């Protein structure tokens, strides 16, 4: 399933070192963008939208190196796509690692920190 692969790649490269809830929140951001009129309307288009997720334009390989971890994340992405009721935060649309201060963060409403990520919403 192409959608599951795109979602899994995004979770893997953005949150593979995060707890399960952190990985689900990264998936939630992706899915909330798909549902929004402000972003593309498919998972793959959201993931590969120009300069939205750092791993897609960092010049590094986009092939997961840790196959067992990726396989688990792929199964998670399939589960999330089959059971969208797992998602509980329809407001979150952005996040970043707590080690950076991106220029765009001031334009969004800070919601919370989970794991190593700070999460934001488009609207207050």
Phi and psi torsions of 53, nearest 5°: -125, 125
CATH number of 2-89: 1.10.10.2520
Condensed to tens digits (0 to 9), the pLDDT of residues 41-98 reads 999 999 999 989 999 999 999 999 999 999 999 999 999 999 999 998 999 999 999 9
What pLDDT is attached to residue 88?
87
The answer, yes or no, to whether residue 1 has pLDDT greater than 90, is no
Q: Where are the domains of the chain?
A: 2-89
The answer, yes or no, to whether residue 21 has pLDDT greater than 80, is yes
What pLDDT is attached to residue 124?
56
Residue with tokens 């689900």: 24
CA distances from 20 to 32, 43, 58, 76, 122 (A): 18, 20, 25, 9, 24
DSSP secondary structure code for residue 19 in this structure: -
Q: b/e per residue, 77-102, with b = 16+ CB within 10 A?
A: bbebbeeeeebeeeebbbbbeeeeee
Q: How many residues does the chain have?
A: 124
């Amino acid at each position: 399933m192409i959608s599951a692969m795109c979602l899994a790649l995004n979770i893997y490269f953005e949150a593979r070192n995060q707890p399960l809830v952190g990985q689900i929140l990264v998936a939630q951001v992706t899915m909330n963008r798909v549902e929004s009129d402000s972003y593309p309307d498919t998972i793959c288009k959201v993931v590969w939208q120009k300069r939205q997720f750092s791993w897609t334009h960092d010049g590094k390989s986009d092939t997961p190196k840790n196959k067992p971890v990726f396989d688990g994340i792929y199964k998670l992405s399939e589960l999330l796509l089959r059971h969208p009721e797992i998602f509980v935060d329809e407001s979150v649309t952005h996040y970043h690692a707590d080690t950076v201060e991106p220029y765009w963060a001031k334009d969004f409403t800070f919601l919370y920190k989970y794991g190593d990520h700070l999460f934001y919403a488009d609207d207050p």
